[in-house]
Amino acid sequence: MGKKSRCGGCFGWFIVFIVVIVVICAVVYTVKKNKHKSADEGPAPIPGPPGAIDQKYAAALKLAMQFFDVQKSGELVEDTISWRGDSGLKDGIQADLDLSKGMYDAGDHMKFGFPMAFTATVLSWAILEYGDQMAVVNQLEPAKDSLRWITDYLINAHPSANVLYVQVGDPKTDHGCWDRPENMTEKRPLLMVNKTKPGSEVAAETAAAMAAAAMVFKASNQRYSNTLLTHAVELFGFADKYRGSYSDSIKDVQNYYNSSGFGDELLWAASWLYHATGEKSYLQYVTGQNGDDFADYGTPSWFNWDNKLAGTQVLLARLTFFGGEEKSDSGLQRYKDTAEAVMCGLIPDSPTATTSKTDGGLIWISEWNCLQHAVASAFLAKLYSDYMLTSGTQKISCSGDSFRASDLQKFAKSQADYVLGKNPMEMSYLVGYGKKYPEYVHHRGASIPAKANVTCKTGWKYLEKKDPNPNVAVGALVGGPFLNETYIDDRNNSMQGEPTTYNSALIVGLLSGLVTTSSAVQSFA
C-alpha cells in the first residue's frame, strides 16, 4: 500500500472551509440588510442596538440636557452650572412640606405644577423610547437625574389622596422683581387643588408623569417606582372622581397656564397608567365612554402643555403596533387612525399637509413660544416613524397617497435642523449651539452676574443693559421666530426669547431619537 499524501483529505476540508465562508457571508449580509431595512422591507431588529452616532445631534442633545440644571430649585449638591446656587430652600414651609426641589418654569422663579408635570411626562417618554441612544452619548443618567429632581417635588406636592399643591410663588409678585433665584426674598405662597376646588387637568397630568416615571425607575429602584405608581393611581382617582378645571378653581392661573379643558389629560393619564400597570380598566377607560366624550376622534390637534390628545393617540397607537390582543381593539384603532391623520398633516407632500408653517417649512402655530409646536410635532413624528420601522409597517395612507416611515423621519429632521441653524436667520435657537445663537435670552439668572448683590427692585438695571447676558443659559430652547422667520434678540422680548423647561423636554426627546441611526424603539418593559 502506497504512502498517504500529506494533502490526503485536503480537498474535503477545502469544501468544508468554502461552505463555512459562504454561511458566514450569508449571515453577515442578512444582519446588515436587516439593520438597514426600510419600511417596505419588514421589521427592524428588536430591540436593536443603536447605530452610528450623528455628531450634530449628539452635541445638541448634550447642550439641551443642561438647561434642566439651569432651572433647578433647591439645594444643588452637584453644582454643574457655575453661576447657579441654592435657592427656594424654604418653599412649602408654611404647609410643613419640602417643596424646595422642582424646576423654575421659564425665565422667572415660578413653579407651575401643570407644565412642570408635563415636562416630566415627556422626559420619561423620551427615556423609555430612546434611553439606549441617550446612553451611547452619556446622557441617560443626566436625564434620569433631572427627571427625579421633578418627581421628588411632585411626590411631596401630593401629601394626601385628594390634595395636590400646584403652584409655588405668586406670579404678580414674582414678575414684579428682576433678581436671581439665589437672592429672592419675596413671599412664596402656595396654591392647591382639592375636593372642593378640583383641578382635574393638573392632577391627571401629574398622574401621567408619575406613571411614566415609575416605568423609568422600575429596573433601577423598585421601591421608588412603586411609590410613584401609588401616587399616580391616587391622583388619577382624584382627577376623575372630582372633575373640574383648575382654571375655574384658581382664577389666577388663567393669565399664565390657563387650561382649555381636562378631558385630554384624563385620557393621557389613563393611557400611561395602562402602560405602567397593564390593568384593563385603564384601557377600557380610554376606549369606552370617556373616549367618546373627550378623544375627538378623527380630528388632528397640536401636542403641547395644554393639549395632550395627539400625544395620547400616538401612545395608544403603540399598542396596535406592538401589543398582543390590543391590536384588534376597535377602540384603539380609532386612536391610531387619528394619530395617522396627525402624521399626514405633518408630511409636506401629503394632500392634507398643514398650511400652518413658515416659508422655510417650520411648523408655526403661535407667536408665543412657536417652537414648542414644531418640536413637539417632530418628536411625535419621529416616534411614529420608529413604530412603523420596528413593527414592519410599510406605509400610511393620506387621502389615497402612501407615505413611508422615511417621510416622517425627513420631516422630524427638518424641524430639528431648522432649530439648529438651517433657517433664514442662519442662527441656532438652542442656546450654546453653533456660532450664532440668542445672547439676550429673557432669563433673570442668566442676565445678572453671579456675584452681583441685587434685590427685587435693584436688579432691573440688568434687564435694560445693552451687553449680552453675562451667563449663558446653556441648552435653553427659546420661543423662536415670527411667522416671517425673523427673530429679535432683545432681553425684553419674552415672546421670542424666553425659554421653558417643557421646551427642553420636547427637544431632548426629539434629539434623543435622532442621535443615532437606530430605527428600533425600546420596550417599555
Active site residues: 442
**Residue recorded with cell 413658515:** 358
Distance of CA 18 to the CA centre of its chain: 52
Give dist(CA 140, CA 310) in Å, integer.
26
Task: Quote the DSSP letter at residue 5.
Answer: P
Sign of the four-CA dihedral 271, 312, 206, 61: positive
Cα dihedral 162/164/170/172 (nearest 10): -80
Say whether the peptide bond before residue 424 is cis (omega within 30 degrees of 0). Answer: no
Round the CA-based radius of gyration of the chain to a whole number and report it: 25
Helical packing angle, 501-514 and 405-419, nearest 10°: 130
Exposure string for 33-45, b = 16+ CB within 10 A, e = fewer: eebeeebeeebbe
d(CA 410, CA 428): 19
Cβ atoms of 87 and 100 within 8 Å: the answer is no
